[in-house]
Amino acid sequence: MSWNTLADHPRLLLFVPSLLLAWDDAALTSEESDALGQLIGADGPLTSAERRALEALADPASPPMMADVLRWRTALQRSEAVHFRDLGRSLALANGASGEDLAALLPLADALDELLGTLSSEAVRRFRNEHATRTAAQNTHASFSVAALTRELHGDQADLIERVLRVLDRPAFQVPPAVDLHAQREQVLRWCHELAAEGLGSMAYPREFGGVADMDGYFTVMETISLFDHSLAIKFGVQFGLWGMSVQALGSNYHHQRYLRDIGTLAAPGCFAMTETGHGSNVQGLRTTAMYLHDTREFEIHTPDADAQKEYIGNAAMHGRYATVFAKLIVNDVDHGINAFIVPLRDAKGDVLPGITIGDCGPKHGLNGVDNGTIRFDRVRIPKAEMLDAFAQVDDQGRFQSTIENPDRRFFTMLGTLVGGRIAVPRSALSAAKSGLAIAIRYGDQRRQFGPNGVAEIPILNYRAHQRRLIPALATTYALHFALRSMTTRFLAHDRSDETEGRRIEAQAAGLKAVATWHVSQTLQTCRECCGGKGYLSENRIEGLRRDVDIHTTFEGDNTVLLQLVGKSRLQRFRQVFGIGGPMALLRLALDKAGTGITEKNPLAVRNIDADHLADPEFHRNALRYREHQLLESAARRLQRLVKDGMDGFHAINVAQRHLIAMAEAYIDRIILDACHAKLAAVNDPELRRVLDKLIGLHALHTLERHAGWYLENGYMEPVKTKAIRRQVDQWCWELRQEAVPLVHAFGIPDRLLGAAVLG
């Protein structure tokens, strides 16, 4: 029976909206048809003819013709009815049915809706050409000045950032990226020369050697050029950072006079040769040797076996003429530990010098503009003066000397001067997260998909699941920006003679490097997925960013190893403060915890789901501190118990390794939030303060949400509270969606540097 015959049964028009929706969603099943047959049984209010007609309209084997569907949908669209039931009623009345006739059928209509799963409150919208929903109505607008937020993010480095961006806008930087490996490396070298000619490479060096003694400026330059090309940023960092600053930090005036000016102008391209095939993170285990030969006043640099070759050394394969080589210093057959030496690799023509064998690491997963290579030394001799001797020397009588007698302390003092690398790397990496988020969020704002029937498709950024993937990542990127800037300021300002503060900064920099670079890798993967196939295309850059920054999680220290370093540092601090084991220490610990336990773990607090409480920065701070302290105390007690039971210290650390890493992450989570709160306290613009408060609050709550299981296990929260936190994260993502595009515009990344064709 055709749907056109409905005109012969005007009362049945009451059921048309329900049946149309059922056929819209999917073909009616035989089970639904059988149930409908039972529903309209012989004793119901329908006549025999109406019953047969209704059964025919719900026959799974006979779906309606598209022309019929369009005809009745058009008729329903003309209705002014507000409620779903009134749609069918108005249609029936318009075609001759009486109100009394329809009243008898209303219970059957309600039963049919229940059977077919029709939601009356929503279904009426399916027959409207235009209607508003909260999802469709979301759009982009800024409640704050984007330019003002950019100035807040750039701070006192704004002029330098603009200067670097102007350099990157020159024709030399606008050529398409080279594809051939050799050509790509040469292109990046040319770019480095362009930056060096502007004085950007020597920025951190003293004025007498061509610089301006601006270490903060060096970090900013590297961070900014990372917006353009990460191979360039890493090449820049190897040449002017690792190579140049190892000479500056570890050498004496002789080395500064001889090398720094040429390093800053790129007249002396060099390497930082620390990592070996068999030893990466364990620098104290390096096996390259530097034997002092007193008769000739020389050092003999030697690679004893294949595992001791220098590997993955940036600038080595093609361009480096010198290397800072880390090797065991041996004087009079005594091993004095790791020291650094300047070793020539190539002559002025670029030919490799005798006794040196250089290999090419070849194509990599990313950063192919950097010429990583291997280096072996076959008893290569260098003058005695080429030992970088700021912390240890060999005197004219051939005796080893150092003002730092303890070899371990001397070693860590030497490496502590290179902490800047662990600040530069995450700042560089975070530029990639900013770029990826700018592309993905702007694309999500313009890419339309699905939507309510009868209306235009809506931006995918309006969908809550999409917001949940991108906006917490945006909040954490802002949080890490503030934390890394705070760490930079602290690193540059601290008194180098304060070893305690130096160790603390070294640990925090290591932890921030680990947390930030993991965040960047995860964020770029999410950005790629949120852009669908467009994110997979090289022309939209995200896949290139993802490949280039992947290595950041393992260079300048493997992240897992760095967090172990942080964990051990915290344990040492715990021992200093509480002196594990003593009765007075236990009393101090109990008193220290009492305040937190009373205020934070009382029955009201663990169940508190009040919106003001969940948004309270003090709640966020206390929750992170509680987790940090609990993990620190439990790790210390666990190790104490293992050692007391007869386990050696090395194995005990290995057994507790996972615990130490969790404890280190908790510490860094708190450090990040403290830096954010300090930054917020300095923001005077009320509009900026409002949006940043919510953004940092979202980061904090999302951090608590990620560790909800721990808080439940430790009785700090009850399920009702962790669920409320999850809902609050959802709500803040929804509210910040409207400002997400302005928030990524505030990063101040020109479209040319974003390099995403999909943005137009």
CATH code for the domain of 304: 2.40.110.10
Query: 459 forms bridges with which residues in the sheet?
Result: 448
Among left, alpha and beta (phi > 0; psi -120 to 50; other), residue 581 is: left
> What is the token pair recorded at 748?
């101040």
Q: What is the edge-to-edge ordering of all strands in the sheet holding 356-360?
A: 310-313, 373-377, 356-360
The CA distance from 315 to 266, in Å, is 12
**Strand locations in 624-688, DSSP E?**
none
56 in Cβ contact with 26 (< 8 Å): no
Query: In this structure, which amino acid lies at residue 1?
Result: M
CA angle (161 as vertex; 159, 167 as ends), nearest 5? 105
Say which residues have a Cβ less than 8 Å from residue 278's Cβ, sequence separation at least 6.
285, 287, 307, 308
358 three-state secondary structure: strand
Whether residue 367 lies inside any domain: the answer is yes
Residue listed under structure tokens 């009745």: 72
Question: Model-level pTM?
Answer: 0.84
What is the predicted pLDDT for the residue at 594? 44
* Residue 156, amino acid: D
Return the closest-CA partner of residue 634 out of 612, 609, 666, 610: 666
Q: Domain limits at 414?
A: 170-418
150, part of any domain: no
> DSSP letter at 418?
T
Tell me which residue has tokens 């990157």: 168
> Could you tell me if residue 640 is inside a domain?
yes
Instruction: Identify the burial level of 26 via C-beta atoms within 10 angstroms of its C-beta, where 0-12 means exposed, 13-18 middle and 19 or more buried.
Output: exposed
DSSP state of 177: P
Which helix (H) or strand (E) element contains residue 209? Answer: none
On whether residue 25 sits in a domain, the answer given is yes
Residue 711 sits in the same domain as residue 566: yes
359 phi/psi in degrees, rounded to 5: -110, 165
581 and 663 both lie in a single domain: yes
Instruction: Check whether residue 117 and residue 232 sit in a common domain.
Output: no
Which of these three, 128, 156, 182, is where a domain ends?
A: 128
466 and 602 share one domain = yes
Asked if 204 and 347 sit in the same domain, the reply is yes
Q: Is residue 551 part of a domain?
A: yes
Structure tokens at 193: 């020369």
Q: How many domains does the chain have?
A: 3
Domain identity same for 340 and 458: no
What type of residue is 408?
A: D
Answer yes or no: do 508 and 409 share one domain: no
Q: For the chain of 760 residues, list the mean pLDDT of each consecutive stretch of 10.
A: 70 76 64 72 76 78 73 71 72 81 79 62 54 66 94 97 97 87 96 97 95 96 97 97 95 96 98 92 90 97 97 97 97 94 96 98 95 98 97 94 85 80 95 98 91 75 95 98 97 85 91 98 98 94 96 91 91 64 45 48 76 93 94 88 86 88 96 97 96 98 97 92 93 94 97 92
The secondary structure of 218-257, three-state, reads HHHHHHHHCCCCHHHHHHHHHHHHHHHHHHHHHCCHHHHH
Q: Is 628 among the domain residues?
A: yes
Q: What is the CATH number of the domain that holds 731?
A: 1.20.140.10
The predicted structure's pLDDT at residue 419: 86
Type of residue numbered 485: R
Residues 110 and 184 in one domain: no
According to the model, what pLDDT value does residue 586 have? 42
With H, G, I as helix, E, B as strand and everything else as coil, classify residue 326: strand
- State the pLDDT at residue 598: 43
Which two structure tokens, joined as six digits, stand for 479? 């949080």
Residue at which a domain ends, from 396, 418, 440: 418
**How far apart are the C-alpha atoms of 633 and 623, rounded to whole Å?**
16
Alpha helices in 601-718 (DSSP H): 603-607, 611-614, 617-644, 649-655, 657-681, 686-706, 708-713
Q: What is the pLDDT of residue 139?
A: 81
DSSP H or E run through 330 = strand 322-331
Residues 221 and 119 in one domain: no
- Do 710 and 640 belong together in one domain? yes
Domain end among 368, 398, 418: 418
Q: Strand, helix or coil at 139?
A: coil
* Cα 635 from Cα 660, distance rounded (Å): 7
Backbone angles phi, psi at 123, to 5 degrees: -65, -30
**What is the signed CA dihedral for 208, 211, 217, 223, rounded to 10 degrees?**
-140
Q: Is residue 689 part of a domain?
A: yes
Q: Are residues 287 and 398 in the same domain?
A: yes
* DSSP 8-state class, residue 379: S
Q: How far apart are CA 324 and CA 141, in angstroms?
A: 52
Q: What is the CA radius of gyration of the chain?
A: 34
Q: Which residues contact 303 (CB under 8 A, 6 or more apart)?
A: 288, 309, 310, 375, 376, 377, 378
Same domain, 469 and 457: yes
Q: Is residue 295 part of a domain?
A: yes
Which residues have a Cβ under 8 Å from the Cβ of 81 and sit 6 or more positions away? Answer: 87, 89, 90, 124
Looking at residue 378, what DSSP letter applies?
Answer: S
